[in-house]
């Protein structure tokens, strides 16, 4: 059988060209790049121990990925011990089935930002199955209304200026929303506030998971995750298995490095959730669902990650903290944003596309639009050698080894 990729290349080139002419993308990304470089320089000066800590985290990640099966087992046991329910989803469909099994139909769901959610097309799936789902991250909410996909892993709606936000809000809320950022934030806050407290289920991802304690660490600034995971009676965490580390202490190290390079400086909120809400205040009888969720579920998603962990040349890609730094330094991403990607973006995204989200056919054009210039490696706190992996994938594409 022959897979003809020529059309894909032509179409992809067209989309890159169109993106590179888009003034909104250009302006937004140049602003973002400058601000990224400034914040990181400034925070690294303030917290000079960070690069050394990042090296430590590389080693933590390396060992965790080499030990993935054990870690998963420990983590699942920890979640159960905490009176949560733990699931393992081998692939994309299994993950969706498990989630839908817990949620059912006719429910209202509030959701925090999660790249895994994008990978699984989680919102669309739950909606198609008769649920009402709200993205609570402001950027994701804007994209939900615009029916678009994220253009950056941390700032998904980076390409949408305030005027366009006002336009889509005015239409959606049925009242005039001026192109004023504070006003725009306010209308969403009012709208979602009601959703948090009437929702049946809150879904979040996690930035790190400590296997020993079953602690899910979620970093955020807006406070939406806090509400989405605290107010509804059910909290589901959906997390990729690559987020596992052995201990709570190590999880804190990973978290600190993540937020520092993800331009949080110091994040507004770090949520640590290990089980359902409980109280023993009356007669020391433990009762679940005190103020927060009564039910707590964790779905560990594999979907190609384990295979990647076993590939010597690619397991390092699982160390990615999703800080987004490499994307800001990528000359292709700087002019095309998320168009250089398929769910996951930039050079590292091309690797993830091949193994986790889309497969080699989808990855091939991305793999060839990488310059292999190597600046991402300079930036990456995990020193992930993306250009080397790109080279390896090119070889696989050329010689027809498309199975990843």
320 interacts with, out of ligand SF4, another protein, none, CB within 5 to 8 A per kind: ligand SF4
Q: Enumerate residues 314-353 that contact ligand SF4 by CB under 6 A.
A: 320-326, 348
Q: From the CB of 315, what's the least distance to another protein, in Å?
A: 20
Is residue 381 part of the contact set for ligand SF4 (CB under 6 A)?
yes
325 binds, among another protein, ligand SF4, none (CB under 5 to 8 A by kind): ligand SF4
Residues 155-174 contacting another protein, CB under 8 A: none
Min dist CB 158 to another protein, Å, is 18
Tokens of 120: 């699984």
- One of 315, 322, 369, 389 touching another protein (CB under 8 A): 369
Nearer to another protein, 114 or 263 (CB): 263
User: Is 231 a residue that touches ligand SF4 (CB under 6 A)?
Assistant: no
Distance from the first to the final alpha carbon of the chain: 17
Draw the binding track, 244-283, toward ligand SF4 (x: CB under 6 A; -: no contact). -----------------x----------------------
Is 373:333 a contact under the CB 8 Å cutoff?
Answer: no
- Rounded to the nearest 5 degrees, what angle is found at the Cα of 383, between the Cα atoms of 46 and 252? 55
Tell me the C-alpha distance between 254 and 103, whole Å: 31
**CB-based contact 346:382 (threshold 8 Å):** no
Q: How far apart are CA 394 and CA 323, in angstroms?
A: 25
Q: Which two tokens stand for residue 145?
A: 């209304």
Closest CA to 263 of 26, 50, 49, 23: 50
Q: How many CB atoms lie within 10 A of CB 310?
A: 12
* Binding site partner of 154, from another protein, ligand SF4, none, Cβ cut-off 5-8 A by kind: none
Distance (Å, rounded) from C-alpha 257 to C-alpha 255? 5
381 binds, among ligand SF4, another protein, none (CB under 5 to 8 A by kind): ligand SF4
Residue 179 vs 391, nearer CB to another protein: 391
What Cα–Cα distance (Å) separates residue 299 from each residue in 71, 98, 101, 105, 355?
A: 14, 8, 12, 19, 19
Among 103, 332, 350, 356, binds another protein (CB under 8 A): 332
Residue 380 interacting partner from ligand SF4, another protein, none (CB closer than 5 to 8 Å by kind): ligand SF4
Full DSSP string of 349-388? HHHHHHHTSSHHHHHHHHHHH-----HHHHH-TT---HHH
**Binding partner of residue 322 among another protein, ligand SF4, none, CB under 5 to 8 Å per kind?**
ligand SF4
Cα diameter, the chain: 71
Residue ranges that bind another protein, judged by CB under 8 A: 1-6, 9-10, 13, 16-17, 20, 329, 331-332, 334-336, 364, 368-375, 377-378, 391, 393-402
Residue ranges that bind ligand SF4, judged by CB under 6 A: 261, 320-326, 348, 379-382, 384
């Amino acid at each position: 059988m022959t897979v003809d990729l020529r059309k894909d290349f032509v179409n992809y080139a067209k989309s890159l060209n169109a993106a590179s002419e888009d003034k909104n993308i250009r302006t937004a990304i140049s602003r973002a790049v400058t601000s990224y470089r400034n914040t990181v320089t400034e925070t690294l000066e303030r917290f000079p121990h960070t690069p050394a800590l990042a090296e430590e985290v590389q080693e933590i990640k390396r060992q965790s990925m080499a030990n993935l099966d054990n870690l998963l087992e420990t983590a699942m046991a920890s979640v159960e011990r905490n009176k949560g329910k733990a699931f393992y989803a081998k692939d994309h469909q299994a993950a969706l089935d498990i989630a839908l099994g817990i949620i059912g139909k006719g429910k209202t769901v509030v959701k925090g930002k999660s790249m895994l959610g994008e990978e699984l097309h989680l919102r669309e799936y739950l909606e198609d199955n008769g649920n009402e789902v709200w993205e609570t991250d402001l950027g994701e909410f804007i994209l939900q209304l615009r029916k678009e996909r994220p253009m950056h892993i941390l700032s998904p709606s980076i390409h949408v200026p305030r005027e366009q936000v006002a336009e889509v809000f005015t239409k959606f809320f049925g009242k005039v929303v001026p192109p004023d950022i504070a006003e725009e934030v306010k209308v969403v806050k009012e709208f979602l506030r009601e959703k948090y407290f009437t929702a049946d289920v809150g879904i979040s991802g996690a930035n790190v998971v400590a296997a020993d304690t079953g602690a899910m660490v979620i970093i955020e600034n807006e406070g939406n995750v806090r509400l989405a995971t605290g107010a509804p009676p059910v909290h589901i965490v959906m997390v990729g298995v690559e987020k596992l580390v052995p201990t709570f202490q190590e999880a804190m190290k990973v978290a600190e490095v993540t937020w520092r390079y993800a331009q949080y400086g110091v994040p507004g909120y770090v949520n640590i959730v290990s089980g359902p809400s409980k109280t023993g205040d009356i007669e020391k009888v433990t009762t679940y669902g005190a103020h927060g969720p009564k039910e707590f579920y964790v779905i560990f998603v594999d979907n190609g990650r384990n295979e990647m962990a076993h590939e010597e040349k690619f397991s390092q890609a699982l160390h990615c903290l999703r800080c987004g730094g490499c994307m800001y330094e990528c000359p292709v991403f700087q002019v095309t944003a998320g168009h250089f990607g398929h769910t996951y973006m930039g050079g590292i995204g091309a690797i993830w596309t091949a193994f986790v989200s889309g497969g080699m056919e989808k990855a091939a054009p991305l793999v060839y639009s990488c310059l292999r210039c190597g600046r991402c490696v300079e930036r990456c706190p995990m020193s992930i050698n993306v250009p080397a992996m790109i080279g390896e994938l090119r070889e696989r594409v050329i010689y027809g080894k498309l199975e990843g």
